[in-house]
Structure 1
């Protein structure tokens, strides 16, 4: 566990709730420059040799590659455009760099003019692991909580107290269940997820519960089991008609529904695995 410093412990630190976007961008740029200087992007973007000049990497035109993949201008060079980055821009460039980073493993030393290492062998997996760790440290300082995942997506960090349920293994071998749960959790946590995206995530979990309904009936009281589907069927989750009750705060309601359904699914699957 990281140390909590004095001003944070007593509640007087001016950034208790996290740093503003521009401060986080500055941290990101410094971390990126460190990776660049250590050769973690030499394979992708190339490097400069004091003798031979620019040595191209796998990507000849980084700006073009970003435009084709991210569909955005004014992200690269990072040093030039970082001060105008929006939150979306920062998270886009982080995801892009995660796809390109690779740790230098072996090469030859070019001592002339103190040029340094010319790396020839790289490990993408090791590079991504280290990049993710450093970037998540940076994102951990942001007032809006995100994390870079192993899949290379930046997602919202789960609400406090629910972290374990996202990292817990789904106790099922049924691909239909696993794929639905994974799709729902990713959709719910994705940066920029709309109310409709979150409603669809809850709907997907309700469908999983429908699939597991025989097991639900074994492990829940009849009233509890009916209440689960009453909420899904009559509160604008699974159906769209004039009988639906929708006069509620969707952001709060959908968040509660999502965690309630996800927890119920895990409970039923664990009960089922113990009886099989």
Structure 2
């Protein structure tokens, strides 16, 4: 269901109609982090506090050290002190790190003395990841730049409007090569920080999947249609590098079109193969 557009946005008066700036997003992220921290979602990994025992270490032990070893950056932790100074890369690195270590509290013991609270003893990582992803994507949905946290814990660019469903649809095949290569191409294309070369390579990878399926395509398409399918990749600087290639086009726009064209084609072709094989 589409969210309600309020007065200033409807009239074009809202200065943040296209999304909030990074500083505001960092502030929103900090608030959800603090809520989850208070509710025990990071106790297992980051540790907790007891009025009697003081700081109780989590399984990460020295969190600063573990972040440095994992991300190779300093001055990211404690999140409470650093979040408002994060760059975009910092924010996304920390989100991905926390996603690997969040866990929902399940059972524990109430420590009433001094209002200490729950000492959680058992945790569920999957439930923690689901909630953190939901909360993070709720925040990122307000960002002026379009990103989301995937179920695999990677920050990816959000799908272009109208193409959301294609990333949610399962590929109708049990061929691991097709599934793995297609999914890898999608991640390469959507990954935060992907370059123009990354996106061109992602298009090429999708074409390679179709090349792999070509023997079966010959049973479904005319020779002319088959040739047309590969014409763009073979003659517009995607698969080959020679003076015959046509490359005087806006790569940012057309590589996006090629990516969605070939990804959609893979889905269609696999469904046609599935139907053909059931006859």
Q: Please, what TM-score do these two structures have when normalized by structure 2? A: 0.95
Bigger mean CA offset, 85-94 vs 215-224: 215-224
Confirm whether residue 59 of structure 1 aligns to residue 60 of structure 2: yes
> Which residue number in structure 2 is paired with residue 168 of structure 1?
169
| Structure 2 Cα separation of the partners of residues 260 and 13 of structure 1 | 35
Contact 1:206/1:261, CA 8 A, preserved across alignment? yes
Deviation of residue 14 (structure 1)?
2.2
State the Cα deviation string for residues 136-186 of structure 1 (Å, max 9, x = none): 100100011111111111111110111111110101111111111000001
Bigger mean CA offset, 162-171 vs 212-221: 212-221
RMSD: 1.3
Confirm whether residue 270 of structure 1 aligns to residue 271 of structure 2: yes
Confirm whether residue 5 of structure 1 aligns to residue 8 of structure 2: no
| Structure 2 Cα separation of the partners of residues 154 and 6 of structure 1 | 29
Bigger mean CA offset, 257-266 vs 238-247: 238-247
For the structure 1 residues 223 and 9, does the alpha-carbon distance in structure 2 shift closer, same or farther, using more than 3 Å as the test?
farther
> Which residue number in structure 2 is paired with residue 125 of structure 1?
126
> Which residue number in structure 2 is paired with residue 144 of structure 1?
145
> Which residue number in structure 2 is paired with residue 36 of structure 1?
37
| Structure 2 Cα separation of the partners of residues 82 and 117 of structure 1 | 26
Q: Which runs of 4+ in 1 moved over 4 A?
A: none
Deviation of residue 208 (structure 1)?
1.0
State the Cα deviation string for residues 210-267 of structure 1 (Å, max 9, x = none): 1222333444443332122121112111111222221111111111111001111111
Bigger mean CA offset, 81-90 vs 212-221: 212-221
Matches within 5 A, 1:151-190: 151-190=152-191
Q: Please, what TM-score do these two structures have when normalized by structure 1? A: 0.96
| Structure 2 Cα separation of the partners of residues 218 and 252 of structure 1 | 32
Deviation of residue 95 (structure 1)?
0.3
Structure 2 unaligned residues grouped into runs of 5+: none
Structure 1 unaligned residues grouped into runs of 5+: none
| Structure 2 Cα separation of the partners of residues 26 and 221 of structure 1 | 56
| Structure 1 Cα separation of the partners of residues 19 and 262 of structure 2 | 30
| Structure 2 Cα separation of the partners of residues 265 and 2 of structure 1 | 30
| Structure 2 Cα separation of the partners of residues 183 and 211 of structure 1 | 15
| Structure 1 Cα separation of the partners of residues 229 and 197 of structure 2 | 20
Secondary structure in structure 1 of the residue aligned to 2:13: coil
> Which residue number in structure 2 is paired with residue 111 of structure 1?
112
